[in-house]
Amino acid sequence: MIEQIVKENDVIILGNFNNYSHEIIQNKIVDLDCRIIGGWNFQEQEEAVSTNDFLFADSVVDMKNKLTGQKPNTALIFIKSAILDAINNSMIQEVTEEILTDIRDLGKIETIDKIIFLSFNIDILTVRSIYKEIHNTKMTPYFITGFHAAYLGANPEVIMWNQLEIDPDLDEELRSENITSGKFLDVGTGSGRQAIWLHKRGFNVTGIDLVPYAFSSAQINEPGIRFQEDNILHTKLEDTYDYIFDRGCYHSIDPSERNLYFEQINKLLNKDGLLFMKCRSTDISTDTEGYHNAMPYCISKDMYIPEEHFQVKKVRPAEYLSSSNKSLFNALFFVIKKI
Ligand SMILES: C[S@@+](CC[C@H](N)C(=O)[O-])C[C@H]1O[C@@H](n2cnc3c(N)ncnc32)[C@H](O)[C@@H]1O
């Protein structure tokens, strides 16, 4: 994604960067003849600062002052971990205000012609107001999906939804049904943790995700698993699988595309194959307060499935555990059979 936007000879500055996002972007552009000359963050990011001649600023205004003689043409502005910060509406508002201020200030740096926003979840009115603002200052905006942003803003290993242990509901299902071998696809694999567990259990595993840098470290460390950048809604996979696991992907797909999702699952799953799915439940009674902002969709226990191809074998209430093993929200665990 970044590679498609950043072009040769670009001179880049990073807004609200952190060491992790700096490193990833640096690795992405290493083959292009372009440079990251500096960035701003109100907290010191020592590693980035200590590498070569990176100009560190603590605000946009400070950045402008430090850019004497250098002419960046691209600003990558991170809407800083909006997902992680999205505890309540007032914080989203605050983050948004901060971004608008950055844009206004950057408008005074005349050479900036590209701004990339990496945002997870901003409501549509805010998006419109940001666009309006940018058009007034004659800049070209790009938006990147929330998942790209989230994985650039936080290491996939510590991102809040990355559960380190095998998902307990999947584990229980595999044990109780004595499922021990076969081909498994992990849809929306993220850091690849669940795929690694399945591989250790003896399955032949493929993991796909929209965001390749989410699984890049697992890809290096676990050569026995096939990881691939792929959109499940337009999958390029040609293989078929005995089992599919989806922990948190389906519930982030726009409801208008659920049909398409099941069309693809139908192509990928062998007859009598099983889809194990963990989704955020419509029972939000004990959810973390305000988490709705970051995760807009919920799935009910009588969710839509194309009955000509699938049958719900089991559905039970469950929890969606975080990287620190706390419950993020109420979930449902489905076992769906292809008939
Ligand atoms: C909540 S995260 C869960 C990640 C992982 N399954 C886990 O349990 O940690 C959802 C994942 O689905 C991926 N995703 C979302 N939409 C997708 C799509 N259309 N195709 C493939 N992956 C997608 C996101 O990039 C993200 O990594």
Average pLDDT, the chain: 82
Q: Give the Å distance between the CA of 146 and the centre of ligand 1.
A: 11
Q: State the closest ligand 1 atom to the C-alpha of 249, by its place in the atom list counted from 1.
A: 12
Q: Give the Å distance between the CA of 88 and the centre of ligand 1.
A: 23
Q: Give the Å distance between the CA of 27 and the centre of ligand 1.
A: 22
CA-closest residue to ligand 1 atom 11: 188
Pick the CATH number of 2-153 from 3.30.300.30, 3.40.50.80, 3.40.50.720, 3.30.565.10: 3.40.50.720
With residue 106 as reference, give the H or E element that holds it.
helix 89-106
Identify the pLDDT of residue 88.
Answer: 47
Q: Above 50 in pLDDT, residue 126?
A: yes
> 168-338 in CATH: which number?
3.40.50.150
| Residue 189: pLDDT band with limits 50, 70, 90 | very high
DSSP string, 147-208: HHHHHHHS-TTTSTT--SSPPHHHHHHHHHTT---SEEEEET-TTSHHHHHHHHTT-EEEEE
Note whether 2-153 and 168-338 share their fold.
yes
Q: How far apart are CA 146 and CA 79, in angstroms?
A: 10
Identify the pLDDT of residue 108.
Answer: 63
Q: Label residue 3 exposed, middle or buried (CB < 10 Å: 0-12, 13-18, 19+).
A: exposed
Identify the pLDDT of residue 283.
Answer: 82
Q: Label residue 236 exposed, middle or buried (CB < 10 Å: 0-12, 13-18, 19+).
A: exposed
Identify the pLDDT of residue 25.
Answer: 80
CA-closest residue to ligand 1 atom 16: 249
CA-closest residue to ligand 1 atom 1: 248
The whole-number average pLDDT for the span 6-23 is 82
pTM for this one?
0.79
Share of the chain above pLDDT 70, in %: 74
Q: Would you give the distance in Å from CA 105 to the centre of its chain?
A: 28
Q: What is the pLDDT of residues 48-103, one digit of tens each?
A: 555 667 888 888 888 888 888 778 888 887 765 444 444 445 555 666 667 677 77
Identify the pLDDT of residue 290.
Answer: 45
Tokens of 211: 């965001």
Q: What is the pLDDT of residues 201-222, one digit of tens each?
A: 999 999 999 889 899 999 999 9
Ligand 1, residues at Cβ distance < 6 Å:
147, 161-163, 188-191, 194, 208-211, 214, 231-233, 247-249, 252
Q: Above 70 in pLDDT, residue 125?
A: no
Q: Give the Å distance between the CA of 249 and the centre of ligand 1.
A: 4
Ranges of each domain in the chain: 2-153, 168-338
Report the residue among 189, 249, 262, 280 best suited for mutation to probe ligand 1: largest number of ligand atoms under 8 A from its CB. 249
Measured in Å, how far apart are the chain's first and last C-alpha atoms?
37
CA-closest residue to ligand 1 atom 27: 190
Report the residue among 170, 194, 198, 209 best suited for mutation to probe ligand 1: largest number of ligand atoms under 8 A from its CB. 209
Q: What is the pLDDT of residues 274-295, one digit of tens each?
A: 999 999 888 877 665 445 545 6
CA-closest residue to ligand 1 atom 13: 188
Q: Give the Å distance between the CA of 20 and the centre of ligand 1.
A: 20
SS (H, E, C) 248-290: CCHHHCCHHHHHHHHHHHHHHEEEEEEEEEEEEECCCCCCCCC
Cα-only R_g, the chain: 21
Tokens of 237: 């996979």
Q: How far apart are CA 308 and CA 120, in angstroms?
A: 35
Maximum mean pLDDT: which of 96-110, 175-189, 288-302, 318-332: 175-189
